[in-house]
């Protein structure tokens, strides 16, 4: 008798119980279920991370636009000689500011955005164009009809990646101007109720429509932010400004 035949006869047949086979199938099913739950949780976490990065980028764009708009209004209109309220309120604001000239290193320069009569420049806004000075967006916001800020997201083309897509929408909801009491004593002495300090306030809104009802953000997510500042029209107290004098003193008045 050969060695391997003797081993087989001594060992005998190996049997596996039905109970052991059933336990193996149940454990396999449980393993697949747990693996599926882990993968589903990891996928949801990944989608939530993507959504958070998406929304955070839009929030940063909203803050950057508001900062640039506030800086534009403060820098340009602080050189104004006077201002006129054409239409007030928050939604349909129209104000005319008299900006006759600006002095730069090359001398005197007339701003190209004066479109109203008598040298006045109208300031207003449009929901999907933002701040408009003389019916045109500032150069930092639009150039040759190319928007540097995205107001309404669009679907990406083939081979293209868009940071904001058709789920996104940014709008300018309001622009508000109002007279503010000046801290300069001369304004109160030389011309009572002098209108030379201006408060400006604007509101931006960002909306995001999620692809799924489940996740970090609700189906319709919206965030509004309000930005406010004030500036002083530095040419107002000038001796040659006819707008800071009443009509009986040879001025134009308000």
pLDDT value at position 107? 56
The residue-averaged pLDDT of 66-85 equals 90
Q: Reduce the DSSP state of residue 43 to 3 states and report it.
A: helix
The residue-averaged pLDDT of 31-41 equals 76
pLDDT value at position 73? 92
Model-wide pTM > 0.75: no
CA angle, 60 then 66 then 69, to 5°: 140
Task: Please determine, for residue 9, whether its predicted confidence score (pLDDT) is greater than 80.
Answer: no
- Place 23 in a pLDDT band, splitting at 50, 70 and 90: low
More confident residue, 65 or 17: 65
Task: Please determine, for residue 118, whether its predicted confidence score (pLDDT) is greater than 70.
Answer: yes
Q: Which of 167-181, 191-205, 219-233 has the lowest mean pLDDT?
A: 191-205
Average model confidence (pLDDT) across the chain = 77
Task: Please determine, for residue 54, whether its predicted confidence score (pLDDT) is greater than 80.
Answer: no
More confident residue, 214 or 239: 239
pLDDT value at position 132? 93
pLDDT value at position 17? 53
The residue-averaged pLDDT of 19-32 equals 67
Whole-angstrom CA distances from 50 to 44, 55, 57, 217, 252 are 10, 9, 11, 11, 59
The residue-averaged pLDDT of 196-204 equals 92
* Listed residue (206, 214, 215) closest to 167, CA to CA: 206
More confident residue, 31 or 77: 77
Whole-angstrom CA distances from 104 to 40, 71, 163, 239 are 61, 18, 38, 22
Domain locations in the chain?
61-249
Q: Tokens representing 73?
A: 């209004």
More confident residue, 192 or 49: 49
Q: Reduce the DSSP state of residue 213 to 3 states and report it.
A: coil
The residue-averaged pLDDT of 159-169 equals 72
Dmax (CA) for the chain in angstroms is 137
- Give dist(CA 96, CA 77) in Å, integer: 10
Task: Please determine, for residue 36, whether its predicted confidence score (pLDDT) is greater than 80.
Answer: no
């Amino acid at each position: 008798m050969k060695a391997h035949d003797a081993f087989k006869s001594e060992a005998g047949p190996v049997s596996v119980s039905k109970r052991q086979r059933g336990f193996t199938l149940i454990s396999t099913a449980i393993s697949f279920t747990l693996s599926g739950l882990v993968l589903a949780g990891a996928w949801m976490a990944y989608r939530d991370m993507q959504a958070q990065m998406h929304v955070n980028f839009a929030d940063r764009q909203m803050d950057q636009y508001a900062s640039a708009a506030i800086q534009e209004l403060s820098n340009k209109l602080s050189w104004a000689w006077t201002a006129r309220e054409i239409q007030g309120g928050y939604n349909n604001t129209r104000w005319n500011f008299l900006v006759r000239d600006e002095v730069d290193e090359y001398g005197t320069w007339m701003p190209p955005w004066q479109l109203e009569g008598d040298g006045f420049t109208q300031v207003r806004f449009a929901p999907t164009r933002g701040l408009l000075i003389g019916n045109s967006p500032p150069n930092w916001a639009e150039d040759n009809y190319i928007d540097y800020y995205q107001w309404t997201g669009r679907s990406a083309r083939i081979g293209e990646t868009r940071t904001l897509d058709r789920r996104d929408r940014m709008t300018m909801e309001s622009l508000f101007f109002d007279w503010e009491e000046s801290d300069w004593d001369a304004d109160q002495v030389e011309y009572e109720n002098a209108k030379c300090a201006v408060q400006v306030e604007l509101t931006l809104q960002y909306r995001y429509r999620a692809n799924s009802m489940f996740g970090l953000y609700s189906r319709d997510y919206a965030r509004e932010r309000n930005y406010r500042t004030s500036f002083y029209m530095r040419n107002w107290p000038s001796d040659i400004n006819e707008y800071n004098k009443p009509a009986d003193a040879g001025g134009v008045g308000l």
